[in-house]
Homo-oligomer: A and B are copies of this chain.
């Protein structure tokens, strides 16, 4: 089965946004054994869209399109596909209702042009959009299938997982099951090096690595007649991975480090408080992203100024003068200080040079101390974060937060063993 990816949008053609959709879809299709030989980007132009679609179908069975499902006159993808399949456009009542509901929740009047988003080619399979107004859809006939998805990744990706994958699996008689092994503290090339033989020789399940901002995920995917048969294929592969790189694995099927840490805190009823300097609130922000975090988090202080480190967190003036704000000693006193102020079980702290300015020879950009104060673990880690030049500040702050969450998981390991 061959597929092509056709992304529609003048903002892509002009380079205003990077086409992450093509990579995302390509990877997902590769994962379920669908080959992609071409990816294209076309603007919102009637004729070029028609030609592009015809060309894609001359080479492939499935054309996955993104973009051009919006409410404005230059959103033409659906109409082009309807024309290709000789279908009329028809108002889809369920889609209209869902769009109306969306605007009702917004408390805003629905504009007339939003109705256009509920117009669908006759006989289309419709994919509801939980995150926006444009539903996705598929039209299939004579071995040719067009799949149309909204452009914003935050709408497209959940729709792909919840609706498009099951739809595509309908073309096969197999069931597909995936598990994600989350890895922190080991680079992608190193993971690939260590697991090279295993990854290369695995066809069912497949093992595919995904790298993102200092983390690696291995997605293990099996195809079989039943869900149970898939799990039986996946189990031994995960065991082999654990054996090879177990200490870098922080979870399986958890979305990310912060969720893994907060879920463990919730599970063990352990409260945490944050004292942040270089991360500026990033850690408390990430903790509180997770619903229910208020049960384990009550207080964070972003002590950007030394005076606040001293007056609010109780870091001694002597420490600040003698060792400076970016020091092991300050990180230690910040962690114990916030724990005392909040009355929490764990206190964590960050202090470092996030750049781009502020670095010196002794304390270069990327030097960060992260501290933890708790009954089970009290320590300070010194990090030298290797940064990507163009985005150093964000990257250094992100990696600092990741290391704090890893430290929290480590502090809870004792609890795990006690409980178990």
CA distance A281 to B288 in the complex (A): 8
Closest B residue to A153 by beta carbon equals: B390
In the assembly, what is the distance between CA of A386 and CA of B108, in Å?
9
Answer whether residue A17 sits at the interface, using C-beta atoms and an 8 A cutoff.
Answer: yes
Residues of B with C-beta under 8 A to A41: 22, 38-40
Tell me the bound Cα distance from A333 to B363 in angstroms: 39
Interface readout for A293-305 with B: 1 if CB under 8 Å, 0 if not? 1100111111111
A163 within 8 A of B: no
- We find that the number of chain A residues with CB closer than 8 angstroms to chain B is 98
- Interface flag for A154 (CB, 8 Å): yes
Beta-carbon contact of B131 and A390 below 8 Å: yes
Could you tell me which residues of chain A, from 213 to 238, have a CB within 8 Å of some CB in chain B?
219
Q: How many copies of the shown chain assemble into the complex?
A: 2
Instruction: For the complex formed, measure the closest distance between the CB of A67 and the CB atoms of chain B, giving whole angstroms.
Output: 13
A23-31, A249-257, A408-416 - interface stretch: A23-31
The yes or no answer to A187 lying at the interface (CB within 8 A) is yes
Q: Which residues of B have CB within 8 Å of A288?
A: 279-281, 302, 304
Interface residues of A in 281-319 (CB under 8 A from B): 281-285, 287-289, 291-294, 297-305, 307-308, 312
Could you tell me which A residues sit within 8 Å of B by CB distance?
Answer: 10-20, 22-30, 36-43, 45, 48, 52, 55, 71-72, 102, 105-108, 111, 113-114, 130-132, 154, 158, 187, 189-190, 192-193, 208, 210, 219, 274, 276, 279-285, 287-289, 291-294, 297-305, 307-308, 312, 341-342, 355-357, 384, 386-391, 393-394, 397
